[in-house]
């Protein structure tokens, strides 16, 4: 055997020996681990890594030789230097680093030298980060899909307006999807950048003062608790506040001190600590290589952070694929390289291509289906459950769920859990995955949620704010010697309504009165609300209950329940004044002037007829018609007859004597014409005057009001009615608002009560625009008031509450039930028609109807009075005439006044006597007396 042969045989032995020892000890693979020096989670990370290496050694033919480099994010040169040193060892794969800046250094080296590079950082760089099917695999969910998840969560949470609190500009990239999907007309959202800290109270206070209740917090995991603690201090962590935390590790923090907060805190997580797979893996992390005993350092499943889990998954992915390739006969020699020499790794390309193929979208077509390297751990088949696990079985599947990469090595499939803080732990409410990016899959059903709310409501005491105003909230008069407290101080529709609602929901409430007495008006200059709405925004009350109108502007600031009462704006006005009927109301059809002119005309015309008749020869007549040549002529038209003729004609009665001359007839004719017209006018007017009430200025609609200036009109200042007219585009209402604004003195009132008072006292010179329900209430109590015209609009009163109050649905349901059962109508009847003097004006309605159809004595009484008066005057004249005649007879017949009186009276009383002596004397009187005695 030559030396050459011997040499060859020896070399063969050496190679066989090396091969055998390598096989026994396992093949050594160098990997580089670039970690963040400042990461507080490094201890967990190193346990996870050690455990992974140990397990690899245990179940495979490989021995991992890790090279750890703990670096600061500014250590560029050190990073490059370490990487070059590593290459010389012959590195199989590089993991990390976690800072984006250092990652760029490592990524450029591994890309150039074709070394598989597993990244665990959020990489938002737009555009393809590497060439297609290269060596880069980023285990972290790709930035754009993660942004979609956040956008979907915000949308599904039904957040219209919110404030984004962020630490650096990368936070806005995480939210870019949510921000770009907004419509131009969507409500404004605000941005607040946190300062260097640690004190962020001033910013949080500003948010609190802005009234914002929905906050998206994007910050580093280590700052979350500190920021929320400060938010608690400035009262930004109250019942109605809601937070979305974008950090995927939020659930790993200690939330013990937020156990009792009532704020809604929602977060997102990639790692599900409750999966039994992760629990098993974590149990294994506690076993060390040396003694196979559990370490003292306890790691809970809920404290495993994303980057730790991703690093663990990355190592497993690498070794699984490496082993799988070698098993199918693919040789993967790992070469020693140098930064200065142009040479590339011989295993990189094949290994990367293998991972791309195995962990791509179409997993079902994958030939290596028994590999768990891209899939979730199958619990029943878990290698860590049995320490002497057979070699053939593979290492565990990923902790972060299914691994799937796009052609650029970006992770494009994973599953996120949407979690909610309950006491000091989190519960999963829904899940999300990039396959259906616009949808959240709910895990807590709506029914379950509602049951929870219902349970919470039974422990809730609502702080109800309201304003005094009948019949909604009335202060109960204090009984002597007794102090009223709490809800006993008040009564009214609102109090009863709350009693009924809490009857359904099993809750309790406490009423308080708003200090400024306003409903809720926005001041655009000060950018603040007043009244009830302000109380809700300041979270000083849970509910606002009274005649609070649901308006668009208010709805933007607070939430409303469905309306419990519907109404519209109408006009409150005073009824026509019912003046007591005058005795001489029959004179009303003509004015006093006309009566005086008529009386004058009567006298003048009577005189004129008298004069004209004297002048007219035809009215001088023969007193003895049988005498053809009378000595003298006679004129019948003395003053008495003239007055009789004119009176007879104006009374429509005519006269038995008539003028004969043309001129007298002409004058009489003209008087008759005058009488005809005047009588007709009087008759026509008399009917109207006797049947109708005296009318003042009349209005029948808002148009009538707008088209006149005599009646002033106004409304409550700063309420929904005021806003309706102020903001109306309809020309009539706008004109009305301009008129109201320019009126002096002001036509606006501070309270409906004042408006009603003004209507009643202004003698129909003021109308008040008021909501119909309040008009109804007033009309039930004051019969002098009427509603004029219909409703100008249609709206409702609702119960207001801070936005996103969880109990809105339950209160809505209670209102709906009350509506259907008629409870709301009963309540309204009680407070409108029964309590505090309601139902007073029912009788009046009937009596006013009666007066419209028939005339009472008060209308025509005057006519009777005139008749009686005239009769008395006529009797007086008759008595005078009688006495005058008695005197004349006594003188002419030379007898005593008494005898003359007795004889005349006796004769007058003898109603059967038809004849009378023309001139009675004393003898006839004595004879008469004697005959009476004989009888």
Read off the tokens for 482: 């007794």
Closest approach of ligand GLU to the CB of residue 554, in Å: 8
Residue pair 190/209 in contact (Cβ under 8 Å)? The answer is no
Closest approach of ligand GLU to the CB of residue 826, in Å: 22
Residue nearer to ligand GLU on the CB measure, 133 or 722: 722
In order of 124, 472, 675, the CA distances from 796 in angstroms are 49, 14, 62
Closest approach of ligand GLU to the CB of residue 752, in Å: 6
Residue nearer to ligand GLU on the CB measure, 89 or 787: 787
554 is in an annotated binding site: yes
What's the residue count for the chain?
935
Residue pair 406/412 in contact (Cβ under 8 Å)? The answer is yes
Q: How many CB atoms lie within 10 A of CB 503?
A: 12
Residue nearer to ligand GLU on the CB measure, 134 or 718: 718
Say how far apart CA 761 and CA 769 lie, in whole Å. 16
Read off the tokens for 723: 């806003």
Say how far apart CA 562 and CA 824 lie, in whole Å. 13
Q: What angle do CA 412, 416, 418 make, to 5 degrees?
A: 150
Residue 218, Cβ density class (10 Å: 0-12 exposed, 13-18 middle, ≥19 buried)? buried
Residue nearer to ligand GLU on the CB measure, 396 or 469: 469
Q: E-strand spans in 514-583?
A: 522-523, 528-529, 543-544, 558-560, 565-567, 569-574
Residue nearer to ligand GLU on the CB measure, 198 or 524: 524
Residue whose token pair is 């006519």: 863
DSSP 368-434: -TT--TTS---GGG-GGGSTT--TTSPPP--TTS--EE-TTSEEEE--EEEEEEETTEEEEEEEE-T
Residue nearer to ligand GLU on the CB measure, 403 or 770: 770
Closest approach of ligand GLU to the CB of residue 555, in Å: 12
Q: Is the peptide bond before 150 cis (omega within 30 degrees of 0)?
A: no
679 is in an annotated binding site: no
Q: Which residues pair with 191 in a beta bridge?
A: 164
Say how far apart CA 419 and CA 32 lie, in whole Å. 35
Closest approach of ligand GLU to the CB of residue 542, in Å: 18
Residue nearer to ligand GLU on the CB measure, 36 or 547: 547
Residue nearer to ligand GLU on the CB measure, 723 or 903: 723
Read off the tokens for 55: 């397990």
List, in order, residues 6 or more apart from 448 with CB less than 8 Å away: none
Residue nearer to ligand GLU on the CB measure, 138 or 721: 721
Closest approach of ligand GLU to the CB of residue 742, in Å: 20
Residue nearer to ligand GLU on the CB measure, 143 or 548: 548
Read off the tokens for 197: 């800290």
Residue nearer to ligand GLU on the CB measure, 241 or 795: 795
Residue nearer to ligand GLU on the CB measure, 227 or 716: 716
Residue nearer to ligand GLU on the CB measure, 720 or 814: 720
Residue nearer to ligand GLU on the CB measure, 414 or 722: 722
Residue nearer to ligand GLU on the CB measure, 793 or 858: 793
Closest approach of ligand GLU to the CB of residue 193, in Å: 38
If phi > 0 it is left, if psi is from -120 to 50 it is alpha, else beta; for residue 254 that is: beta
Q: How far apart are the first and last CA of the chain?
A: 211
Looking at 263-384, list the stretches that DSSP marks H as alpha helix, in order from N- to C-terminal side. Answer: 276-285, 306-327, 348-358
Closest approach of ligand GLU to the CB of residue 720, in Å: 4
Q: Which residue's C-beta sits nearest to ligand GLU?
A: 719
Using the Cα atoms of residue 278, residue 283, residue 288 and residue 292 in order, give the sign of their dihedral: negative
393 is in an annotated binding site: no
Using the Cα atoms of residue 714, residue 718, residue 721 and residue 724 in order, give the sign of their dihedral: positive
Closest approach of ligand GLU to the CB of residue 415, in Å: 48
Say how far apart CA 654 and CA 665 lie, in whole Å. 14
Looking at 822-913, list the stretches that DSSP marks H as alpha helix, in order from N- to C-terminal side. Answer: 823-829, 842-851, 857-892, 897-909
Closest approach of ligand GLU to the CB of residue 473, in Å: 13
List, in order, residues 6 or more apart from 328 with CB less than 8 Å away: none
Read off the tokens for 149: 């998840």
Sheet arrangement for strand 785-788:
712-715, 766-771, 569-574, 785-788
Q: Which residues pair with 68 in a beta bridge?
A: 33
Closest approach of ligand GLU to the CB of residue 569, in Å: 7
**What is the β-pairing status of strands 242-245 and 264-269?**
parallel
Residue pair 662/668 in contact (Cβ under 8 Å)? The answer is no
Q: Which residues pair with 543 in a beta bridge?
A: 464
Closest approach of ligand GLU to the CB of residue 469, in Å: 9
**What is the β-pairing status of strands 712-715 and 565-567?**
unpaired
Closest approach of ligand GLU to the CB of residue 549, in Å: 4
Residue pair 539/263 in contact (Cβ under 8 Å)? The answer is no
Closest approach of ligand GLU to the CB of residue 732, in Å: 18
List, in order, residues 6 or more apart from 115 with CB less than 8 Å away: 87, 91, 92, 93, 94, 109, 135, 337, 345, 348
Helix (H, G, I), strand (E, B) or coil at 533: helix
549 is in an annotated binding site: yes
- The residue ranges that bind ligand GLU (CB under 6 A) are 519, 547-549, 715-716, 719-722, 770-771
Closest approach of ligand GLU to the CB of residue 699, in Å: 19
Extract the annotated binding site: 549, 554, 721, 771
Extract the annotated binding site for L-glutamate: 549, 554, 721, 771
């Amino acid at each position: 055997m030559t030396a050459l042969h011997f040499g060859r045989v020896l070399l063969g032995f050496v190679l066989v020996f090396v091969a055998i020892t390598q096989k026994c000890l396992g093949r050594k693979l160098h990997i580089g681990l670039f970690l963040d020096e400042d990461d507080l989670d490094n201890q967990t990370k190193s346990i996870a890594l050690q455990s992974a290496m140990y397990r690899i050694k245990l179940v495979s033919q490989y021995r991992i030789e890790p090279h750890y480099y703990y670096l600061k994010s500014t250590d560029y040169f050190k990073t490059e230097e370490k990487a070059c040193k590593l290459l010389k060892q012959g590195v199989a794969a590089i993991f990390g680093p976690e800072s984006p800046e250092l990652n760029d250094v490592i990524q450029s080296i591994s890309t150039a030298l074709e070394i598989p590079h597993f990244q665990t950082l959020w990489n938002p760089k737009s555009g393809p980060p590497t060439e297609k099917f290269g060596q880069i695999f980023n285990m972290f969910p790709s930035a754009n899909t993660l942004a979609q998840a956040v956008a979907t969560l915000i949308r599904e949470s039904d957040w219209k307006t919110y404030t984004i609190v962020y630490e650096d500009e990368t936070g806005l990239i995480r939210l870019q999807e949510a921000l770009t999907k907004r419509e131009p007309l969507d409500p404004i959202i605000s941005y607040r950048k946190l300062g260097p800290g640690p004190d962020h109270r001033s910013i949080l206070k500003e948010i609190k003062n802005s009234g914002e209740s929905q906050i998206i917090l994007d910050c580093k995991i280590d700052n979350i608790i500190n920021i929320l603690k400060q938010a608690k201090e400035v009262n930004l962590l109250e019942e109605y506040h809601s937070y979305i935390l974008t950090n995927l590790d939020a659930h790993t923090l200690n939330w013990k001190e937020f156990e009792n907060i009532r704020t809604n805190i929602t977060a997102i997580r990639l790692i599900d600590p409750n999966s039994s797979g992760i629990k098993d893996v974590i149990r294994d992390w506690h076993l060390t290589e040396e003694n196979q005993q559990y370490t003292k350092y306890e790691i809970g499943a809920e404290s495993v952070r994303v980057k730790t889990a991703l690093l663990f998954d990355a190592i497993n992915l690498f070794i699984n694929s490496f082993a799988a390739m070698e098993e199918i006969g693919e040789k993967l020699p790992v070469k020693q390289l140098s930064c200065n020499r142009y040479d590339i790794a011989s295993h990189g390309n094949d290994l990367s291509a293998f991972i791309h193929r195995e962990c791509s979208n179409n997993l079902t077509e994958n030939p290596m289906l028994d590999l768990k390297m891209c899939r979730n751990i199958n619990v029943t088949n878990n290698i860590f459950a049995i320490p002497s696990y057979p070699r053939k079985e593979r290492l565990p599947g990923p902790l972060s769920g299914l691994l799937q990469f796009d052609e650029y090595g970006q992770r494009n499939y994973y599953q996120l859990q949407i979690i909610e803080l309950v006491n000091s732990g989190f519960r999963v409410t829904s899940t999300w995955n990039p396959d259906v990016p616009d949808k959240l899959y709910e895990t807590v059903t709506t029914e379950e949620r509602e049951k929870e709310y219902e349970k919470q409501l039974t422990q809730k005491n609502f702080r109800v704010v309201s304003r005094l105003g009948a019949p909604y909230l009335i202060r109960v008069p204090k009984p002597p010697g007794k102090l009223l407290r709490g809800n006993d101080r008040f009564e009214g529709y609102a109090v009863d309504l709350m009693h009924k609602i809490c009857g359904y929901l099993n809750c309790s409430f406490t009423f308080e009165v708003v200090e400024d007495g306003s409903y809720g008006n926005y001041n655009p200059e000060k950018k603040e609300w007043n009244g009830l709405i302000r109380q809700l925004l300041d979270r000083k009350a849970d509910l606002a209950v009274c005649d609070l109108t649901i308006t668009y502007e208010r709805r933007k600031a607070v939430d409303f329940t469905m309306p419990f009462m519907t109404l519209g704006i109408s006009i409150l006005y005073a009824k026509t004044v019912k003046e007591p009927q005058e005795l001489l109301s029959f004179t009303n059809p003509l004015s006093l002037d006309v009566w005086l002119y008529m009386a004058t005309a009567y006298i003048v015309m009577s005189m004129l007829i008298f004069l004209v008749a004297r002048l007219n020869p035809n009215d001088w007549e023969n007193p003895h018609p049988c005498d053809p040549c009378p000595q003298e002529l006679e004129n019948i038209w003395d003053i008495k007859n003239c007055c009789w003729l004119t009176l007879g004609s104006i009374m429509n009665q005519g006269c038995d004597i008539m003028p004969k001359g043309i001129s007298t007839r002409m004058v009489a004719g003209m008087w008759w014409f005058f009488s005809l017209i005047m009588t007709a006018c009087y008759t026509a007017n008399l009917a109207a005057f006797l049947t109708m009430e005296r009318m003042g200025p009349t209005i029948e609609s808002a148009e009538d009001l707008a088209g006149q200036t005599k009646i002033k009109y106004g409304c409550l200042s700063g309420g929904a009615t005021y806003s309706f007219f102020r903001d109306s585009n309809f020309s009539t209402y706008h004109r009305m608002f301009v008129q109201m604004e320019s009126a002096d003195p002001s036509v606006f009132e501070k309270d409906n009560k004042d408006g009603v008072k003004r209507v009643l006292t202004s003698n129909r010179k003021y109308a008040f625009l008021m909501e119909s329900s309040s008009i109804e209430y007033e009309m039930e109590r004051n019969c002098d008031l009427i509603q004029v015209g219909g409703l100008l609009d249609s709206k409702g009163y609702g119960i207001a509450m801070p936005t996103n109050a969880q109990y809105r649905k339950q209160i809505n349901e209670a209102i709906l039930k009350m509506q259907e059962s008629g409870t709301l109508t009963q309540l309204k009847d009680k407070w409108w028609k029964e309590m505090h003097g309601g139902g007073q004006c029912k009788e009046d309605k009937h009596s006013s109807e009666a007066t419209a159809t028939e005339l009472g004595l008060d209308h025509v009484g005057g006519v009777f009075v005139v008749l009686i008066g005239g009769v008395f005057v006529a009797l007086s004249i008759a008595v005078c005439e009688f006495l005058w005649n008695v005197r004349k007879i006594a003188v002419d017949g030379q007898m005593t006044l008494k005898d003359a009186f007795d004889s005349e009276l006796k004769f007058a009383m003898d109603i059967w006597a038809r004849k009378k002596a023309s001139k009675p004397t004393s003898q006839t009187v004595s004879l008469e007396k004697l005959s009476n005695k004989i009888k």
